[in-house]
């Protein structure tokens, strides 16, 4: 039996998505390797996949994996670092889980 993927998404509205993405990837890149294809950067963190996508006035954070704790770890890592970098702008990261069915 295949375990369904757990997926989570946070759309963070900002007037500087590319700047925050660059700062986030630069900081996290010291510990994990991100590959970038266009506007999407991807890495493996704690057994799950982390993605950072630069959009128009939005920075999209994505987490996916088969284990709850792995996806939660990606949410924490991406979300807490972004909120710290953007404290002056008072950005908040709100994750929304997709139904894995």
The 10s digit of each residue's pLDDT in 49-86 is 999 999 999 999 999 999 999 999 999 999 999 999 88
**Structural domain containing residue 84:** 6-97
Residue 1 lies in a domain: no
What's this model's pTM, rounded to 2 decimal places? Answer: 0.92
Residue 21 lies in a domain: yes
| Domains held by the chain: number | 1
Residue 23 lies in a domain: yes
Token pair recorded at residue 72? 């939660």
Residue 86 lies in a domain: yes
Backbone angles phi, psi at 37, to 5 degrees: -130, 105
Domain with 76 in it: what CATH number? 3.30.310.50
Mean confidence (pLDDT) of the chain: 92
Residue 92 lies in a domain: yes
Helix ranges, 2-67 (H): 17-28
Residue 16 lies in a domain: yes
- On whether the CB atoms of residues 82 and 10 are closer than 8 A, the answer is no
Residue 47 lies in a domain: yes
- pLDDT above 60 for 92: yes
């Amino acid at each position: 039996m295949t375990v369904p993927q757990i997926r989570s998404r946070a759309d963070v509205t900002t007037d500087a998505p590319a700047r925050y993405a660059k700062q986030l990837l630069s900081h996290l890149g010291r510990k994990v390797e991100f590959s970038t294809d266009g506007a999407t950067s991807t890495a493996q963190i704690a057994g799950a996949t982390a993605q950072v996508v630069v959009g128009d006035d939005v920075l999209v954070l994505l987490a996916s994996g088969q284990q709850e704790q792995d996806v939660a770890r990606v949410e924490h890592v991406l979300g807490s670092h972004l909120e710290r970098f953007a404290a002056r702008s008072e950005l908040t990261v709100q994750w929304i889980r997709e139904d894995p069915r």
